[in-house]
Structure 1
Amino acid sequence: MPHPLSFLSTRAAKAVRGLLDVPDHAPSDYPFAPSDIAALHRATLAGGAQVDEQTWQDLMLPDCLERIAPGARTSLFGRQWLYRALRRQDGRERGLYADARALNGDPTERERQRAALSCLRSADIEVYERIAEDGPPPVLPWARWVPVPPWLLLVSLASAPWFPVAWLGVFVALVALMWFNVAQHSTIELARRRGHALAMLLRAKVRLDGDKEAAALNRALSPGVLDLAPMTKDYREWVLLAKVKHYLRWRRRVHDNRAVLRAAYNRCARAEAVLALALYIEGERTCAAQEGELQLDAVRHPLLAAGLPVSLALHGKGMFISGRNGEGKSTLLRTVGLNVALARGLGFCHADAARVPALPVYASLRNDDSLLDGESLYVAELRRARELLAAPAGLYLIDEIFRGTNHLDSVSSAAAVLNELAARGPVLVSSHNVILAALMRHRLDAVCVERGRDTVELRPGVLTETNGVPLLGAAGLGGAVLANAQRVQGWLARYLADPAEAERVLAPPAQPLASTPLTAAPAAPA
């Protein structure tokens, strides 16, 4: 619960705080759990575009959020606001970027807001779900008995000289007092931490806007000076149950003033989100994102300091991406996904210019087998494909689709799933199975990733010169092994680059193709 002097910060006030045993809460980097940071999003979850959990992890969005709003300079409340904006992907918070740029244009106002909001970082507990609760608070059956033990003790002590049986009442009263103080200690301590967090919200609201209603509520939620005085503090808590009574009053006032507390939260959390974003973009090359078909000019990965820029644009189709090992196919997909998520959630990209579709982004980049769940890699990939097909239409980013099974099943399953996804929204997929480029030519434009010294280029077509076979020699597998591998590779490359009739298999056929059995036909009888 907040202290009556928690809104003071002068040297004199600190001296008084020390005299009255009021702790001075300095800003800190408290290690909040991911569930705490997600509390606002969870409490306000509604319909609309959402980033699912696998996309959130595959695109490394938690790391991106930590870079934008590190705990060393941003409180839980600002991080909760940014988390919800990134997770919702509905475009509601795209104005954060414009506000952040405006704040950077006024250093005096930025410093004022930074000073006003600095107290929020001393909060060490999540409170939004508490003030967002609807309906009456849960009933505490023991609350009605709180006034009884102090009066029983007083009456019993006064009667004991004349009625020795009154000592039994003294004993009962002391046991009851001990129960209230011990049994409710953890509940009251939790309320104290929540009270401090709410006090910091109200204090920041007063500093930002001079809000008199917030100031009055902060005083009403605070304990009295007598409750903090060293001479009477312990006596009042243990004998008169002052701490328990204050907790009950605080609980009722918080419930009755939830609207004021939510308004303070919304104002301060958004202001701190804007401040965090302003400090972040000050040292970054960013641009405002426009809506339209995907086009990113000189886009960069926000988490790679040495990442190379790449430009790409879709022209009515998705994109099939091939490239040599280590050229950056997976990095390209994450670069696109992170920037689209930032554009949809916060309104900006790490690029020179950007257009992004008004669609949620879905990623399938890191499917793995699970020994604990008894799920093989291919089964995990099938589960993810089912999730993508069941979700609302979006932008799909898929890396090495169906790599967990044999080549024949992989190509067949991948072509079928990609054909369905590409009919719903733009697809960017990378794969070493270049035959997919021909099979999906009616849905996807083929590009090959080539890394240069200063940039990454996407040239039309598929990969023709791989580096997997040359690595045999580097690994000590030269001689006949390397020579034979090169012979087979040359033949496969010529065939897979443009196999006859491949593009007609899934495209709207002019005429049906005859199926080819996978097993040899039985020999004719002699």
Structure 2
Amino acid sequence: MWKLKTFSTGWDSVLRRLSPRKTLLAELRAQWGKPGTVMAWRASAYFDLVRNKGTDVSVDDRTWLDLEFPKIFSRLDTTATPLGSQYLFASLRTYVDDPQELAARYTCADMLQKNAALRENILLALAALSDDGLADIAEFVFGDPPRTVEYPKLLAFWSALSLLLVLGAVASLWSVWLALAAIAINVGVMARLFWNVQRDATALKRCVAMLPVADVIAAIPVDDTPFKAMHLLREQKPLRRKMQKKLRWLALLQKEPIQFISTWINVVFLAELVAYTLALRHFAQMRTVLQSTYALLGSIDASIAVASCLERCPDRCRPEFASTRLIDIQAGYHPLLAIPVCNSLRLDDRSALVTGSNMAGKTTLIKMIGINIILGRTLGFCLAARAVIPQSSVMASIRSEHSVESGKSHYFGEIERLQTFIENADRGDCRVFIIDELFSGTNTVERIAIARAVLEQLGADAQVLVTTHDVELQQHLSDHYDLYHFQENPDIEGFFDYQLMPGPATQRNAIRLLDRIGFPAKVVARAMKLTGA
């Protein structure tokens, strides 16, 4: 998530005070096209709340981790607000079945990349919502209903009486003690209600801050742009206006002159709790408007973050979606590599078995394919010159670590995951599987036998991209699998060119590398002899 820089001393502080808009605009332009750096606080909050409430299919937790999407999201997340960060996270984890919706997402981001004036005007307005505390809005708006205050009429009566007692203390000294007693009671009430009610009241105050920002963005001219969210913000302005009237007392507490004394106002007559109680009378209608406003503002902010990604990734494309089992990635690359090597792969109703030594590029390749399918089916673009992808979700098994807490071994955790793959393939729920080094912790004979059986089963119902060191598998899986390999090149710096080669691996360059790095000649010769080379 993009954050405003804080200037505390020197001329920067003076200039910021004299021309805050100009300073903010300079920061926006300096950040444009650069990657994000860290995962925003509570970035997953919105997704966690809505992931099981609809029919949409999401990227499962294991695949999200195995394909390094936490890092990818952090680089993608240059949003200006917590709302945008949360919406972007949910977008990246939720598959979209409608190709037209995906095309609209890409078109919107592409337009924002090119239209600097529109983009910057939106970001200037969104800057008012940059505080991390606004990450709590999602839970209030999409979570369980907010907690209510017990005995609201009694609270209103006591609030009025407290105010009268304090005003009376100003006019007559004899009532000072009564006023102090009322203040002490109010402090106790606030302390008692903090975790039950006060947090929700604070969250609702933060929700109120969204409404005027939405009005400002809605007023930005967008008549000639395919920007659905902006048009919807404009259409919903009358609804927001009604909501602002119903929340006027909470909105009043947000005004700058009053914010400075809000604590004292609450201590004197519990103003915030009373305003919160009055607002909750309209909660059902209020929630609908706030949910829509949150989603529209978040989607706009997220679209600008995607536009920034497009700015720094000129080699990308809109994918085509195949109704058959077809994966065709041309000049695709991995988003986390500083200097990526592009590779192409076409699988028409086939799977891929990729062999090669460690560090040659096998795992990077299959991750790249999986990542591009997910990007294409969530954000509407792929990091490739051309991409045809199936309308399927992706499931991955890259890391199978021993879990001390669960007591599961590496092998047991892996077979559980692969069992899930087979079940999903049988049901047709998923048709693309990314697998790295099956059963690497087992003995050679059993490993090859089990790997062959599993891959034959999966390859019959789905497309699999699998890496292995077991070249013996190459001769057994030709019915459903195309063979590819990476190979070492002892004649180049670093030993690897990371270029995918068609066909089975046949060379013994891994042993020749021993000679290059200084292994004893007799050891190298013995190794070559044992291989039959």
TM score, norm. by length of structure 1: 0.77
Map Cα deviations across residues 473-521 of structure 1 (whole Å, 9 max, x no partner): 5777636544333222227xxxxxxxxxxxxxxxxxxxxxxxxxxxxxx
CA–CA separation in structure 1 for the residues paired with 2:402 and 2:64: 19
Counterpart of 2:532 in structure 1 is 490
In structure 1, the partner of 2:446 is: 409
Which of 83, 86, 103 in structure 1 is aligned with 2:92? Answer: 86
Aligned residue number for residue 510 of structure 1: none
Residue 483 of structure 2: SS of its match in structure 1? strand
Q: Is the 8 Å Cα contact of residues 37 and 76 (structure 1) preserved in structure 2? A: no
Gaps of 5+ in 1: 1-13, 16-25, 160-165, 492-526
Q: Which amino acid aligns with 1:358?
A: Q
Quote how far apart the aligned CAs of 1:443 are.
Answer: 1.0
Q: Are 1:182 and 2:191 counterparts? A: yes
CA–CA separation in structure 1 for the residues paired with 2:37 and 2:279? 25
What is the aligned partner in structure 2 of residue 502 from structure 1? none
- How far off is 1:54 after superposition? 0.9
Residue 226 of structure 2 corresponds to: none
1:291-335 per-position Cα deviation (integer Å, ceiling 9, x unaligned): 121101111111112110011101321011012332100111111
Q: Percent identity?
A: 25
2:49 aligned residue: 42
Secondary structure of the structure 2 residue equivalent to 1:306? coil
Asked if the contact 1:137–1:255 (Cα under 8 Å) also holds between the matched residues in 2, the reply is: no
Distance 2:181 2:291 in 1: 43
Q: Sort the Cα spacing of 1:169 and 1:113 in 2 relative to 1 into closer, same or farther, 3 A.
A: closer
The corresponding residue for 2:294 is 265
Q: Give the deviation of 1:205 after TM superposition.
A: 1.3
Flag the 1:299–1:156 CA change in 2: closer, same or farther, 3 A.
closer
Cα distance, 1:269–1:442 mapped onto 2, change above 3 Å? same
SS of match in other structure, 1:127: helix
Which has the higher mean CA deviation after the structures are superposed, 84-93 or 363-372? 84-93
User: How has the CA–CA distance of structure 1 residues 209 and 320 changed in structure 2, closer, same or farther, with 3 Å as cutoff?
Assistant: same
The answer (yes or no) to whether the contact 1:398–1:430 under 8 Å persists in 2 is yes
Q: Distance in 2 between matches of 1:461 and 1:151?
A: 83
Give yes or no for the alignment of 1:458 onto 2:500.
Answer: yes
Letter in 1 for 2:343: V
How far 1:148 moved relative to its partner? Answer: 4.8
Equivalences, count: 461
SS in 1 for 2:499: strand
Counterpart secondary structure, 2:312:
coil
Structure 1 counterpart of 2:140: 130
Greater alpha carbon shift after TM alignment, 315-324 vs 288-297: 315-324
**Cα displacement (A) at 1:358:** 0.6
Aligned CA-pair RMSD? 3.7
Is 1:63–2:92 an aligned residue pair? no
Describe the shift of the 1:174–1:266 C-alpha distance in structure 2 as closer, same or farther (beyond 3 A). Answer: closer
CA distance in structure 1 between the partners assigned to 2:376 and 2:57 by the alignment: 14
Contact 2:38 2:75 in 1 (8 A): no
Letter in 1 for 2:321: E
SS where residue 72 of structure 2 aligns? helix
TM norm structure 2? 0.76
Q: Is the 8 A contact 1:319 1:447 kept in 2?
A: yes
Distance in 1, matches of 2:160 and 2:244, equals 31
- Written as runs of structure 1 = structure 2, the 5 A alignment for 1:485-524 is 485-490=527-532
Match 1:217 to one of 240, 243, 248: 243
After TM superposition, give the deviation of residue 214 of structure 1 in Å: 2.2
SS at match of 2:136: coil
Residues 236/399 of structure 1: CA separation in 2 closer, same or farther (3 Å cut): closer
Which one is further off, 43-52 or 149-158? 149-158
* Distance of 1:255 and 1:349 partners within structure 2: 40
Query: SS of the counterpart of 1:147?
Result: helix
Equivalent runs, 1:298-447 vs 2, <5 Å:
298-391=331-424, 392-447=429-484
Instruction: Give the aligned partner of residue 208 of structure 1.
Output: 217
Counterpart Cα distance in 2 of 1:176 and 1:218: 31
Tell me: CA distance 1:276–1:367, structure 2 relative to 1, closer, same or farther (3 Å).
same
Aligned to 1:291: 321
For the Cα contact (< 8 Å) 2:113–2:310, is it kept in 1? no
Distance 1:468 1:368 in 2: 27
Aligned equivalent of 1:478 = 520
Aligned residue for 1:287, secondary structure, equals coil
- Specify whether residues 256 and 442 from structure 1 end up closer, same or farther in structure 2 by C-alpha distance, changes over 3 A only: same
Is contact 1:39–1:126 with CA below 8 Å preserved after alignment?
no
Task: Determine which of 239, 246, 249 is the counterpart of 2:268.
Answer: 239
Alpha-carbon distance in structure 2 between the residues aligned to 1:294 and 1:116: 42
CA contact (8 A) 1:393 1:424 kept: no
* 1:428 match: secondary structure: strand
**In 2 relative to 1, CA 197–286 (structure 1 residues): closer, same or farther, beyond 3 Å?**
farther
After superposition, the Cα gap between the structure-2 partners of 1:315 and 1:235, relative to the gap in structure 1 and judged at 3 Å, is closer
2:81 corresponding residue in structure 1: 75
Distance 1:102 1:137 in 2: 39
2:329 is paired with a residue of what secondary structure? Answer: strand
The 3 A distance-change label for structure 1 pair 472 and 193 is farther
Q: 1:123 to 1:370 in 2, by over 3 A?
A: closer
Cα deviation, residue 117, structure 1 = 2.5
1:145 partnered with 2:154: yes
Of stretches 439-448 and 94-103 in structure 1, the one that deviates more from structure 2 is 94-103
In 1, the alpha carbon distance for the partners of 2:270 and 2:294 equals 31
Q: Contact (CA 8 Å) 2:46, 2:87: kept in 1 or not?
A: no
Inter-CA distance 235–97: structure 2 relative to 1 (3 Å threshold): closer
Q: Residue 310 of structure 1 contacts residue 455 of structure 1 at CA under 8 Å; is this kept in 2? A: no
Change (3 A) 1:152 1:90: closer
Deviations 1:90-126 (A, max 9, x none): 3455131121112333333222222233323235223
Using the alignment, how far apart are the partners of 1:170 and 1:107 within structure 2?
Answer: 57
Report if aligned partners of 1:321, 1:447 keep a CA contact under 8 Å in 2: yes
Q: Distance in 1 between matches of 2:257 and 2:50?
A: 35
Q: 1:110 to 1:241 in 2, by over 3 A?
A: closer
Aligned mates of 1:197, 1:444 — CA distance in 2: 55
- Following superposition, the deviation at residue 152 of structure 1 comes to 6.5
| Contact 1:91-1:347 at 8 Å conserved across structures | no
Question: Which is further off, 262-271 or 249-258?
Answer: 249-258
TM-aligned CA distance change 1:120 to 1:158, over 3 Å: closer
CA distance in 1, matches of 2:295, 2:40: 21
With over 3 angstroms needed to count, the CA separation of the structure-2 counterparts of 1:235 and 1:49, relative to structure 1, is: closer
C-alpha displacement of 1:372: 2.9
Alpha-carbon distance change, 34 to 412 in structure 1, aligned in 2, over 3 angstroms: farther
CA distance in 2, matches of 1:196, 1:31: 27
Given that 2:253 and 2:272 are in contact with CA atoms closer than 8 Å, whether structure 1 keeps it comes out as no
SS at 1:356's partner residue? strand
**3-state DSSP class of the match of 1:184?**
helix
Distance 1:344 1:228 in 2: 48
Give how far 1:280 is off: 1.4
Q: Could you give the per-residue CA deviations for residues 258-283 of structure 1, whole angstroms, max 9, x where no partner exists?
A: 12112211221111121111121012
Q: Does the residue aligned with 2:130 lie in a helix, a strand or coil?
A: helix
| Residues 45 and 139, structure 2, Cα contact 8 Å, conserved in 1 | no
The structure with more helix, counted as a fraction of residues: 2
CA contact (8 A) 1:320 1:446 kept: yes
